[in-house]
Amino acid sequence: MKIISLESKPGLAEGEILREKAKPVKDINDEIRDTAREMVQAMHRGKGVGLAGPQVGLSRRIFVTHADKDEIRVFINPSIIWTSQEETACEEGCLSVPGVWAEVKRPGKVKVQAWNEKGRAFTLEAAGALARVIQHEYDHLEGILFIDRIGESKREKLLARLGKSKKTR
For binding to Ni ion (CB under 5 A), which residues are involved?
94
Task: Identify which of residues 62 and 94 has a Cβ nearer to Ni ion in the complex.
Answer: 94
Report, as residue numbers or ranges, the catalytic residues: 137
CB 146, CB 97: distance < 8 Å: yes
Least distance to Ni ion from the beta carbon of 48, Å? 7
Task: Identify which of residues 6 and 28 has a Cβ nearer to Ni ion in the complex.
Answer: 6
Least distance to Ni ion from the beta carbon of 50, Å? 7
**159 CB contacts (<8 Å, ≥6 apart)?**
100, 147, 165, 166
Task: Identify which of residues 28 and 39 has a Cβ nearer to Ni ion in the complex.
Answer: 39
| Count of CB atoms situated within 10 Å of the CB of 150 | 17
Query: How many Cα atoms within 13 Å fall on the side-chain side of residue 152?
Result: 3
Least distance to Ni ion from the beta carbon of 93, Å? 8
